[in-house]
Amino acid sequence: MQSNRKLLLTVLMLTLLAATAAPASSWTLPALVNDTAHDDLLEGYGTTPLLQGPDGDLHVVYHADLVPGDSSNREVYYVRFDGSWSEPERLSFGDGVSHCPAMSIDDAGNIYVFWYDTRNSVYYDLYWNRFDAAAGEWVGEEALMVDSGVHYVHPVTLVDQQNNVHLFWSEIQPSLHYEIFHNTYQDGSWGTPEQITNAGTGWRTHIRAVLDDDGSIHIAWSDVINPPTEPWMVYYRHLSPSGQWGQPVELGVGQAVDIDLDNGYLYLISNWPSSLPDGFFQLFYSVKDLGAADDDWIFKCRPVHLNDSYKNTKPTLEAGYDGMRLVWRRHLNDDNTIMETKIGPHGISSPRELSQDDGYYGGPRMTAGEDGTYHLVYSYSPDGAGGYDLYYMKDENPVSARLPEQGAAVHALEGLYPSPVHGAATVGLNLPATSSVELAVYDLAGRRVSTIHSGSLSAGRHELPLDAAGLSSGVYLLNLRTDAGNETTRFVVER
């Protein structure tokens, strides 16, 4: 217990500046992604509509009403940014509602998109479409789960370190309650679905999932046993690399919305009930040390910025160059904008308005690139009466321009252990081929503070020592340069 207190105090000292000052960000002006005749939206639980691929390109999936204002025939679309935005490409082709797409990308650049669909009946079915990177084309939509009497909703997907595609979804049961299922797409075929909740009544849904550096999958979901008489609760569970599930942990009242990892900590954002009628309009967050037991959290629920005068909804969470960012939509009547703040294990910065334009904003979605640059896409309408278009902004890592020139992205850094670093640490590398290697540490001003290795290394796995004895407490960048390209990650030194 005493050691935990010391750790908390140490982390608090390190995060005071990062977590009590407003984000030192410099977002670009909004740029139009596409201008179409229909409403383009990123809404929906389970969606993962924005990712950066291994080639550095941005990928966006969204659903669009073919007739503005008419949600009875939504379809799923895809756009790509490689210096300019591509024309929208339609991925679904049924009558009815095809919406809330979830996307994952493997190391080869293959893209997997899942959504739920009412083309066959009033019940939702699961469909998917895949982009074959080798062929350079989408293979075409396919029905994944179809049943005339079963709902399949809220798909969530991610790719693990072996390039296996994981899919989570919520499925109605014969007694009219929802349970959560999981399946894996490996070597071109699906495995056997496994049911990972079994309450027997009520609803389990609104799933979010994230993969850590050790290969564990962490999921959160919303759970209500006896709707509507009992409140929604947020739950957490993790799947180890060996395939073993930990026990579910109840975190508190609310609905799970987003989950992410940063420097050995797991962050979870949830929507909570507020004094405003008819909905969940306040944001709370939970934090745990990944090295602690599943039920050992630094705190399980803490308000972001309570203000019952506003509806705070649609949060998106992402770790980038300066730590964990939270972006959300704040609105009440005609006051409608996008907000941002920074979150640390022991504090949160003052919120600031990210977008100043008058109008109406859909749910923002965010991702961070290899260099920690934040990328944000959101839907916007001047009057909220339709005509929603997608817009893009980025907050570029100011240090990246001062690091060695970036080549193609490589994925040879396996990690740094222990993390955070207190004195000596070990950097793991896995090189696909013999290469010249320069591995160096930079501070956040872009100055090189130490060189770990400079010279040739053979193909395979290597462990290189990092001596942090001369480094003060703070955040540093670990930069790897090889013949194949360039890779940078962040780490923390604690004293």
* Stretch(es) of the chain classified as CATH 2.120.10.10: 2-400
Which pLDDT belongs to residue 410? 66
pLDDT the model gives residue 406? 64
Query: Would you say domain 2-400 falls under CATH 3.40.630.190?
Result: no
How do residues 175-209 score in pLDDT, each as one tens digit?
A: 789 999 999 999 999 999 999 999 888 999 999 99
pLDDT in tens, 62-80: 999 887 777 788 999 999 9
Could you list the beta-strand ranges (E) of 279-407. Answer: 280-289, 299-303, 311-320, 323-332, 335-344, 347-348, 352-353, 360-361, 365-368, 374-381, 389-395
Which class for 375: exposed (0-12), middle (13-18), buried (19 or more C-beta within 10 A)?
buried
What does the alpha-carbon distance between residue 275 and residue 308 come to, in Å, rounded to a whole number? Answer: 6
- Alpha-carbon distance of 153 to 195, in angstroms, equals 14
pTM of the predicted protein model: 0.82
Q: What is the pLDDT along the chain (495 residues), one digit of tens a residue?
A: 334 433 333 333 333 333 334 455 589 999 999 888 888 888 888 789 999 999 899 999 999 988 777 778 899 999 999 999 999 999 999 988 998 999 999 999 999 999 999 998 888 999 999 999 999 999 999 999 998 888 999 999 999 999 999 999 999 877 789 999 999 999 999 999 999 999 888 999 999 999 998 999 999 999 998 887 888 999 999 999 999 999 999 999 999 999 999 988 999 999 988 766 667 889 999 999 999 999 999 999 899 988 778 899 999 999 998 889 999 999 887 778 999 999 988 788 889 999 878 899 988 999 998 888 999 999 999 888 888 999 999 999 877 767 776 666 667 888 788 878 888 999 999 898 999 999 999 887 778 899 999 999 999 999 999 999 889 888 888 889 898 888 888 888 887
pLDDT of 307: 79
- Determine the pLDDT at residue 336: 87
Residue 324 near residue 340, CB atoms below 8 Å: no
* E strand or H helix that includes residue 13: helix 2-20
Q: What CATH number is given for 407-493 in this structure?
A: 2.60.40.2550
Nearest CA to 389 among 93, 127, 34?
A: 34
Q: Are 374 and 368 in contact (CB under 8 A)?
A: yes
Q: Kindly report, as residue ranges, where domains of CATH 2.60.40.2550 are found in the chain.
A: 407-493
- Helices marked H in 129-192 — which ranges? none
The predicted structure's pLDDT at residue 438: 92
Which residues, including other chains, have CB under 8 Å from residue 107's CB and lie 6 or more apart? 54, 159, 163, 411
Across-strand partners of 210? 218
For residue 291, the surrounding DSSP H or E stretch is none
8 Å CB contact between 248 and 256: no
- Predicted pLDDT of residue 176: 82
**For residue 277, what is the DSSP state?**
S
